[in-house]
Structure 1
């Protein structure tokens, strides 16, 4: 029997000066450092959105919330597909797992069992260190109705001397450029274009302004396409096309389950 995805992440040896990134669908990623620190960002591993919005997964969760042992769970904002309410208690049960997020997300994490000493409420410009990883909160603008999230964040995550941007859910905003321009090695950018997020054109423009060494489009692949809503831009090849018109020769990695993105490639 082949090892589970989580076991593969555990066994992954990350050389100095590199970072390893594993996709969990939608905006969920695991980032692993050379020191072995594993940071999960926006992991959605249940069917909780079926109860809250009537939308079911189109694909099974690639890892089991009961199996994983993250050093930290980051939530960009408290919407269920980014801060999974059915998994918070499982994450909190691991005594070495910390939680990082905006105040609204930290409140939910504490209600789910995370003690205050293991939670870190961040606002734009604030940082926290988890093992050999540094996490900086940057601006996100995710104010769509009916559930605006005024304290939503993006993150700059530094591991192995490499800085990874995770957009969370956000519309295009010049203040994101202010926070991230020329500061990003790997840029993971939402591109679905509905529910208060950038579409492929806006995501490509943000990547162009950031000038990362590698761009990674995300926020697709979890629901059935029609469940993202009318006008959704879910084909990452469209992102690649627009981005490379702006930045000919730019490097892009389309995330796939079970295939780690390693930066720099080895």
Structure 2
């Protein structure tokens, strides 16, 4: 599987047959609506997207980006995520036939990718995703606070072997901070862990080196991904 970090909490996952875009923020809508400028240029022109599925964790505009959705020309792209996103998709011109509901506890398969939506404590129906492919298990926390409810949900996942954890670290606007991300990583004990949700907006970022330092004595492999670089999984992670 190939994994590319496209900024913020956005990723491209591909096995050569099926491609999933997760939380792609590829426009300047946050600057227009909230005054926060991108720190990196969008790595993909939305008009050129040919992914099979656009998967979103919640409806904040740096995760379910209306401008990106409107710009996608391919009519083959499906959209999957919590139910609160459907009105946004419909307003962007996406028919209900191209929408797949993925609320907490639900599972769907896209090619050889099996996707399970799990609890995230951020918006009313925000989710994280556990994605299985070819025996490899990835856990994307999505945006979430480290609250007792979230911690309880994590304890329910402890019997699942997480190969690669992708965890938010920015500590602002409803997300856990670096110290909490370190705690989560120790709780789950994945083979490898990757920090995200930094480096997009100067007003809402964090230094991933702090996460690396916090886990310096751990057994986990910590990978700070280069923006827009494609990695092979599991080879480049574990």
TM-score (norm 1): 0.83
Deviation per residue, 1:78-109 (Å, 9 max, x gap): 00100111111223x32221101111112211
Pair 1:179–1:72, CA change in 2 (3 A): farther
**What CA RMSD, in Å, does the superposition of the two structures yield over aligned residues?**
1.5
What CA distance in whole angstroms lies between the structure 1 residues aligned with 2:37 and 2:201?
7
2:236 counterpart of 1:255: no
Q: Which residue number corresponds to residue 125 of structure 1?
A: 105
Q: Higher mean Cα deviation, 192-201 or 168-177?
A: 168-177
- Name the SS of the counterpart of 1:244 in structure 2: coil
What CA distance in whole angstroms lies between the structure 1 residues aligned with 2:153 and 2:22?
18
What CA distance in whole angstroms lies between the structure 1 residues aligned with 2:136 and 2:212?
22
What CA distance in whole angstroms lies between the structure 1 residues aligned with 2:94 and 2:107?
19
1:237 to 186, 189, 209: 209
Deviation per residue, 1:27-50 (Å, 9 max, x gap): 0111112x5211111100000001
What CA distance in whole angstroms lies between the structure 1 residues aligned with 2:227 and 2:13?
14
What CA distance in whole angstroms lies between the structure 2 residues aligned with 1:243 and 1:114?
43
2:140 counterpart of 1:160: no
What CA distance in whole angstroms lies between the structure 2 residues aligned with 1:167 and 1:185?
14
2:199 counterpart of 1:221: yes
Q: Which residue number corresponds to residue 118 of structure 2?
A: 138
Unaligned 5+ runs, structure 1 = 1-18, 143-148
- CA drift of 1:179 comes to 4.4
1:74 to 36, 46, 55: 55
2:38 counterpart of 1:57: yes
1:174 to 151, 159, 181: 151
Tell me if the contact between 1:139 and 1:175 (Cα under 8 Å) persists in the aligned partners: no
TM-score (norm 2): 0.92
Q: Which residue number corresponds to residue 265 of structure 1?
A: 235
- Name the SS of the counterpart of 1:105 in structure 2: helix
The runs of at least 4 consecutive aligned structure 1 residues that moved more than 6 Å come to none
Aligned length, in residue pairs: 232
Tell me if the contact between 1:139 and 1:153 (Cα under 8 Å) persists in the aligned partners: yes
**Bigger share in strand:** 2
2:178 to 200, 211, 227: 200
- Name the SS of the counterpart of 1:238 in structure 2: helix
What CA distance in whole angstroms lies between the structure 2 residues aligned with 1:176 and 1:262?
29
Tell me if the contact between 1:100 and 1:106 (Cα under 8 Å) persists in the aligned partners: no
What CA distance in whole angstroms lies between the structure 1 residues aligned with 2:8 and 2:200?
5
